[in-house]
Amino acid sequence: MSGDGANVVLLHGLGNNEGVWSRIAGHWRPGLRVHTPRLPWHSGGITEWRHQDDSTALLAGLLDRIPGGADLVVAHSFSSVLMLDLLSRRAAEGRPPDTAGVVLANPFYQDDADDFRWDMIAPTLDDFPRTMAESIRLSTPGHPIEAGRLADMARRMTEWIGPYGWLRFFENYLRTPLFPVQLVDTPVLVVGGGADRSAPAAHARTLADALPSGECLILPRCGHFPMLEQPARLAAAVHEFLDHRALRPRPLRTT
């Protein structure tokens, strides 16, 4: 597969929308066909989605409708969990998705169900407004928001997402140790942020090690939103992965 003219599909996370990819748009090389669909868990549509019980099936249907199919899928945060679930399901069924490769950016992942302890629920829940605030702050770099107002905006966002929306995220996260990732032979690049407080870089390393064709790239001094913080570096990693990893194994640097 050649990277020229490839269909690249970018999947935003929970409470964001396709606009989260706007800063990386200018870093894609000519010839790529980049798709940025608005997903059911976008910032304006959670009311209709939050009671759905199989978001992975929704994602599969969306990818099936991409004109020409998806050559490369870049999934961020919550969507990376769903994409990993889809890869695992299809691998177990013997019908992997028809895509040359997948990039999972800032994934939430655990490889051992016993790592989910009762006392980690409250910190995970409490961290959610901070992640929303980080997204809002990074999306408005030219217009600094006063700390109190930013916290209020993030709190309103989490209240709007509500318990059902958060539980959709958390229940999928809880299922990650149960995904048969050892069956996935699709090339996968797992990208983590060295300063990510929401999905620590250790999650990315653990997942890449568990995937038979997994590689890990940790972006130093980057938090949970590399497309906003280091768009040129992320685009370069995607280009390299698209050009070389789908053709033959070539390890990427892990730092």
In which element (H, E) is residue 132 found?
Answer: helix 121-139
Kindly list the distances between the CA atom of residue 106 and the CA atoms of 76, 84, 222, in Å, as whole numbers in the listed order: 6, 12, 10
pLDDT of residue 64: 93
Q: Domain boundaries in the chain?
A: 7-245
**Confidence (pLDDT) at 140:** 82
Query: Residue 3: what are its φ and ψ, rounded to 5°?
Result: -75, -20
Strands 101-105 and 214-219: unpaired
Domain 7-245 top-level CATH class? alpha beta
> How far apart are the C-alpha atoms of 128 and 204, rounded to whole Å?
19
- What angle, 0 to 180 degrees and rounded to 10, lies between the N-to-C axes of helices 147-175 and 55-64? 90
Neighbours of 113 (CB within 10 A): 11
Q: How confident is the model at residue 62, as a pLDDT?
A: 95
Residue 14: which of 107, 110, 141 has the closest Cα? 107
- Beta strand spans in the chain (E): 7-11, 33-35, 72-76, 101-105, 188-193, 214-219
Q: Which two tokens stand for residue 216?
A: 């890990």
Low-confidence ranges of the chain (pLDDT < 70): 1-4, 246-255
